[in-house]
Amino acid sequence: MMLTILGFLIILVAAVLQAYCEFGRQARPDIKPKVFTTAFKWVLEALWLILMLGGAALLFLLNPLIALIGIVLFWLVLPFIISPVMRNRILPPWDEVKVELEPKGYNERNYWRGDWWMIESKQKKRKR
């Protein structure tokens, strides 16, 4: 039982690191965390991958069905929970981006939901 909990905790930590790295890959240079401007970003990318594979391997040794549940949790469930929380914590405070975002229709309650913080090649193309 303890190994199952440990495996899921490892997968949870990997999901948090993956969401952080995903934000770093997509963010504009002025909003991107400083760690993604150094070579340390590759350590973080490798770390979340190793943690995900290690947690899945540990769960697979216990029971293949549990490992499948862990992988589905990692790829399909946790991104919907962790990514919005991560964006909400990493994006600059509303007071710093108010001048830029108010003309675009954002306010203090919804500015972290949009894609204004992404580099242009990652933004979803909207029909106008």
- Asked whether residue 127 carries a pLDDT value surpassing 80, the answer given is no
- Tens of pLDDT, residue by residue over 76-114, are 999 999 999 999 899 999 999 999 999 989 998 889 888
Map out the domains of the chain as residue ranges: 2-92
Q: Which residue has the tokens 């770093």?
A: 24
The amino acid at residue 6 is L
Could you give the angle at which helices 64-72 and 2-26 cross, rounded to 10 degrees? 30
Q: Of 14, 100, 30, which Cα lies nearest the Cα of 22? A: 14
Task: Tell me if 117 sits within 8 A of 31, measured CB to CB.
Answer: yes
pTM to 2 decimals?
Answer: 0.88
How far apart CA 34 and CA 51 sit, in angstroms, is 23
